[in-house]
Chains A and B, each alone.
Chain A
């Protein structure tokens, strides 16, 4: 309810700003113009949104899988963990959109570079969060497991991994927030289809209202994906007693 009020207030302010400043629609279209464009161009926007959503979810799944696998390997082989930990930190400082052009060059203009960018964006927070969780099991449980004679693998499987699930969920939530941005950047740099490409084209044709319409769809798409994943994670954690 409060969110709806805030959105309504933002729309009113936006509309007032357009009217008061008298900016031409190709510089700043009003909310009504954007809403019209959203409807008129639905034939163009809808397939673009579906493609972007597909790239996002595919990249999210692959990135999460890779992140989980790498974090688990790092925890299982402490030497590997010590070697890779700084790499993870450093990789986080690389602005992924700077890599987008080179990925396009390597992987072509199809689906692959977009998914690759999403994978890169999602992978690090997932791996980092899960690895942190695996390395910090609750001490009371760890003492109990050790006195019970749990081996290293048993400890990893029965204690460290399940205890790290809330951290993993935080990593996945972060990944879900960043993922659609990754797909849009990929389309932006080298794509003919998808919301990112649509935004670039609309910008080039001075169709600022369409650009804004696509932007709104990106936001809605991100919120929807995040909302679904957040809900699923919360339910999965609650079922496991967290």
Chain B
């Protein structure tokens, strides 16, 4: 990428004060904050989606792939076709071998022909992950991607996502300090007062949920949210 790293500089009066969010190229940036603080608005600005707020400032961004808390699968398309959705929507031809490979990578081999309604919540989220990877965009935007999952699935699928997205520029918006501590190469905390960096625990992501450094970071991050 020759273009400048994805970055949002500006303010949204009534929602957030002037701030500067810059993503680390090739790394996972976790944006942690309470609900309603404007995290998703920043993500939508980077995605080029309508936000419904008046933003004054500048957005530098790259072509992005998006995955949200609602996996946003098309219920009338099979798993395989959902994964290859981007090509379908752009009128391109999908590469079936690649689609199959991605479905295997998220551990859903053999379920290509199922409809989303026939899958569990965790499986649906994995389909969304495979679809995000299929887009092969330089920037990946994850908006509370695992918030609707139980603790065990959240760990499993979070780890899977971090491994599969290794090397890409990723923004994970989350309200879960544990998730930020495990998955963030960089951690930014967003509060009504503004945006502040928090040092990430040492080690490559995904980190173990029970490592001492991770637990300490989780506690510190929780403290910052409570402050």
Contact = CB atoms under 8 A, between A and B. Distances in A.
Interface of A: 138, 140-141, 143-150, 154-155, 158-159, 162-163, 165, 240-242
20 contacts: A140-B71, A141-B73, A143-B44, A143-B72, A144-B66, A145-B85, A145-B89, A147-B47, A147-B48, A147-B66, A148-B85, A148-B86, A148-B90, A148-B135, A154-B91, A158-B74, A158-B89, A240-B76, A241-B76, A242-B117
Contacts of B49: 143, 146-147
A149 to B, nearest CB: 6
B215 interface: no
Interface in B22-80: 44, 47-49, 64-66, 68, 70-77
The secondary structure that dominates the A interface is: helix
B163 interface: no
B90 A241 contact: no
A154 B44 CA distance: 21
Given A159-B74, A240-B76, A241-B76, A143 B68 contact: yes
Contacts of A145: 85, 89
A165 B76 CA distance: 10
A141 B72 contact: yes
Nearest to A148: B86
Nearest to A153: B91
Interface string B134-146: 0100000100000
B8 to A, nearest CB: 16
A177 to B, nearest CB: 26
A140 B72 contact: yes
B86 A241 contact: no
A146 B50 CA distance: 10
A148 B72 contact: no
Size band of the interface chain B makes with A:
20 to 34
Nearest to B65: A147
Contacts of B204: none
**Shortest 6 CB-CB contacts between residues of A and residues of B:** A140-B72, A140-B70, A150-B89, A241-B115, A240-B76, A241-B75
B6 interface: no
B116 interface: yes
B170 to A, nearest CB: 14
A162 B44 CA distance: 25
B88 interface: yes
Contact of B76 (A144, A150, A162): A162
Interface string B70-109: 1111111100000001101111000000000000000000
A235 to B, nearest CB: 14
